């Protein structure tokens, strides 16, 4: 029996009271890009508790780079994907 491989990358999104009002567009963009590039088995989006930086909502955290991204819009989500998640896919994402 083959063991399930752990995900190589995790992207956390704040699901606090303010962030959850604004993070749907960015979450959906990232999720679509991950699926479209065939990375669904190696990249996962997960909730995290409020990070206390609500003025900069929505907030995403990239643990592989120990980086917080604030005020993440759909456009910024695309840049996050290109730079941190799949830099080798940069030319295929438009």
Domain residue limits, the chain? 9-87
pLDDT of residue 91: 46
Q: Is the sign of the CA dihedral 69, 73, 74, 78 positive or negative? A: negative
CATH of 9-87, one of 3.20.20.70, 3.40.50.2300, 3.40.30.10, 1.10.10.10: 3.40.30.10
Q: So what's the pLDDT on residue 93?
A: 47
Whole-number Å distance between alpha carbons of 72 and 19? 10
Residue 24 has φ and ψ, to the nearest 5°, of -60, -45
Higher-pLDDT residue of 1 and 10 is: 10
Q: Please, which pLDDT band fits residue 88 given cuts at 50, 70 and 90? A: low
Quick: pLDDT tens for 13-70: 999 999 999 999 999 999 999 999 999 989 999 999 999 999 999 999 999 899 999 9
Note the pLDDT of residue 1: 43
pLDDT attached to residue 8: 79
**What is the predicted pLDDT for the residue at 92?**
47
């Amino acid at each position: 029996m083959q063991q399930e491989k752990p995900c190589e990358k995790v992207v956390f999104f704040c699901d606090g009271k303010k962030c959850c009002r604004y993070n749907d567009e960015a979450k959906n963009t990232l999720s679509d890009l991950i699926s479209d590039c065939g990375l669904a088995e190696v990249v996962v989006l997960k909730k995290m508790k409020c990070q206390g930086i609500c003025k900069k909502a929505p907030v995403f955290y990239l643990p592989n780079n120990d980086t917080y991204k604030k005020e993440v819009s759909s456009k910024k989500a695309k840049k996050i994907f290109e730079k941190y998640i799949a830099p080798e896919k940069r030319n295929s994402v438009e």
